[in-house]
């Protein structure tokens, strides 16, 4: 079974995304988080699906989900989810320190 490890920051990202969207529509927030979680589980089973992002950090990959992007490290038996950020953000290494 593939492992999905979440960093504390990625968990915080999930919470902040839910809070932001739930202000207008709690059902939409629930649906988006479910989709993000399902996609992260898929990536844990097939880590190579994401795009390599060496400009951020070696070994980091990303995968878009709607307006958001999952950033993760492949590990031996899954992935470590690093961040979940809005796709419009100008991403740099500061988001991963």
Q: Using one digit for the tens of pLDDT, what is the confidence trace for 42-86?
A: 999 999 999 999 999 999 999 999 999 999 999 999 999 999 999
Of 41, 34, 65, residue with least CA distance to 51: 65
Question: Is it the case that residue 94 has pLDDT exceeding 80?
Answer: no
Residue keyed to tokens 């307006």: 67
Contact present, 78 and 47 (Cβ < 8 Å): yes
- Could you list the beta-strand ranges (E) of 1-97: 3-6, 51-52, 61-65, 68-75, 78-86
Contact present, 31 and 38 (Cβ < 8 Å): no
Q: What is the CATH number of the domain that holds 71?
A: 3.30.2310.20
- Residue 77's pLDDT is 95
Distance CA 61, CA 72 (A): 5
Q: What is the total count of domains within the chain?
A: 1
Give the percent of the chain with pLDDT over 90: 88
Please give the residue range of the domain that contains residue 20.
3-96
Distance CA 7, CA 11 (A): 6
């Amino acid at each position: 079974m593939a492992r999905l490890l979440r960093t504390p920051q990625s968990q915080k990202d999930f919470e902040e995304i839910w809070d932001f969207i739930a202000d207008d529509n709690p059902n939409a927030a629930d649906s988006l988080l479910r989709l993000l979680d399902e996609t992260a589980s898929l990536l844990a089973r097939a880590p190579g699906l994401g795009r390599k992002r060496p400009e951020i950090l070696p070994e980091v990959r990303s995968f878009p989900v709607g307006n958001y992007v999952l950033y993760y490290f492949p590990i031996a038996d899954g992935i470590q989810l690093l961040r979940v950020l809005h796709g419009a953000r100008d991403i740099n290494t500061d988001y991963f320190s």
